[in-house]
Amino acid sequence: MAGEQHDDRRHPVADAAGEPGEPGAADRIDAVLDEVGPRLRRIRRERGATLEALSEVTGISVSTLSRLESGQRRPSLELLLPLARAHKLPLDELVGAPPVGDPRVRSKPIVRDGRTMLPLTRRPGGLQAYKLVQQPGPGEPDPRTHEGYEWLYVLSGRLRLVLGDHDIELGPGEAAEFDTRVPHWFGTAGEAPVEFLSLFGPQGERMHVRARPRRQD
């Protein structure tokens, strides 16, 4: 992006505890750091992981992980970054207490050009899930391309999918998956809205169906 650039990266501990020069900042930082170990232990146990398994994934020794969880080892970015990747959590959630209680995802719908898009996931990176409602409207298909892989599942109505040389109509319960580097466009097929789910991921990341219904002869 053109224009002046600013480095907005900050240490998560500083974000949680305030600016270092503020009165009492040192005490707040110590309080935040004291909570990191128990939080790491809770997250690991919730995921059913052992210290040995976590050590293999992160490259951090079992003894260091144990001392980190017990508070005998001070957390650092060198330790927290591989742990955040292993647990697939934002770094802030390992340092600042994540919200607890209501498990519902409260996302603000995005409305644009007759399409309402509701994000269903909050985790950065990896697969992203959306629920979409497309209203019927004028306009010819305008296929676009971009990096990624997408999976669509129709809940209600009928979805028109233009994919390369194909012009496909999908009904409730039907799904399609495709490489988004292929020119594609989707909209309503008819006079009624269509409601569908979209899973979008980085290039090469596909849906994996673990169980399929048996064919009836």
User: Do 49 and 43 contact (CB within 8 A), yes or no?
Assistant: no
Q: For residue 7, what pLDDT is reported?
A: 40
Q: What is the pLDDT of residues 185-209, one digit of tens each?
A: 989 998 899 999 999 887 655 554 4
Model confidence at 13: pLDDT above 60: no
Q: For residue 160, what pLDDT is reported?
A: 93
Higher pLDDT, 155 or 91: 155
Q: For residue 121, what pLDDT is reported?
A: 78
Q: For residue 176, what pLDDT is reported?
A: 92
Question: Does the pTM exceed 0.75?
Answer: no
Q: Look up residue 98 and give its DSSP letter.
A: P
Structure tokens at 8: 């907005």
51-58 and 62-70 helices, crossing angle to 10°: 110
pLDDT band at 9 (very low <50, low <70, confident <90, very high): very low
Mean pLDDT of the chain: 77
Q: Look up residue 27 and give its DSSP letter.
A: H
Higher pLDDT, 149 or 107: 149
Q: What is the pLDDT of residues 70-94, one digit of tens each?
A: 988 888 878 888 888 888 887 777 7
User: Do 118 and 198 contact (CB within 8 A), yes or no?
Assistant: no
Higher pLDDT, 161 or 114: 161
The mean-pLDDT minimum among 39-43, 51-55, 157-161 falls in 39-43
Structure tokens at 123: 């985790």
Instruction: Give the integer Cα–Cα distance in Å for 46 and 156.
Output: 36
User: Do 184 and 147 contact (CB within 8 A), yes or no?
Assistant: no
- Candidate ranges 43-47, 88-92, 150-154; pick with highest mean pLDDT: 150-154
Average pLDDT over residues 99-118: 70
Provide the 3-class DSSP secondary structure of residue 4. coil
The mean-pLDDT minimum among 21-35, 66-80, 106-120 falls in 21-35
What is the β-pairing status of strands 110-112 and 115-119?
Answer: antiparallel
Instruction: Give the integer Cα–Cα distance in Å for 93 and 3.
Output: 32
